[in-house]
Amino acid sequence: MIETNTIIEALYYILAKIKSADKIKLVKLIYLADKYHLIHYGRTLTDDDYYAMEFGPVGSTVKDILEFNSFTLSKNEIKYASQLLEKVNENTFRVNTSSGEVELDMLSETDIEALDFAIKNFGSMSPWELSDYTHKFPEWYKHEDLFENKSVKRKRIRPEELLSMVDDEYFKVSSEHLEESRNILAGKYD
């Protein structure tokens, strides 16, 4: 079940660390934190539904929160997002400074570890560098031709597809560890 408040707190956490960011950058940093958490612990931190879209993988609830979408979010969720996140302009966000002291009760220790991983390794990249980087993963590039032809706007990514890795220094775990995460995701415990 998607925990919208967890996603709102994760966005707040990122913005508290990097000061401001646009929608694409925030969507990509959450995706990379989710990918890290899934690979290492067998679950994403957001439990969001992911879609391959033109600029890379996108968590649908993350996108809805950043759009303050009243069609998909409850009044309480929009209120909480507004308390923690401030829209500087159409696409740029920062922490809502009027929120005062914020307790991030929804984020676990491993959630924060995953967010710190994303911020440390990718937080200085531009939105377009992040978009290009996320295009390296099979969960996106296997749909690339659909976006080039403009035949679809989005294609569902199954959670197990996020367990993909590319040959770089960021997402290296042993094949045994990856298989253990795959089993946890599938609900198979020894």
Handedness of CA 20, 26, 28, 33 (dihedral sign): positive
SS3 of residue 105 by DSSP? coil
pLDDT 10s digits, 74-131: 999 999 999 999 999 989 999 998 888 889 999 999 999 999 999 999 999 999 999 9
pLDDT 10s digits, 131-140: 999 999 999 9
Strands (E), 37-88: 50-53, 56-59, 85-87
Mean confidence (pLDDT) of the chain = 93
Alpha carbon dihedral 131, 137, 139, 143, in 10-degree steps, equals: 70
User: What are 21's strand-pairing partners?
Assistant: 93
Q: Give the chain's length.
A: 190
Q: Output the CA–CA distances (angstroms, integers) from residue 20 to 27, 85, 103, 126, 176, in the order listed.
A: 13, 10, 20, 12, 38
Look at residues 104, 13, 87 and name the one whose alpha carbon lies nearest to residue 78.
87
The answer to pTM > 0.85 is yes
Please report the pLDDT score of residue 190 as a whole number.
Answer: 62
Domain ranges of the chain: 4-186
Rounded Cα–Cα distance for residues 183 and 190 (Å): 9
Task: Give the amino acid at 61.
Answer: T
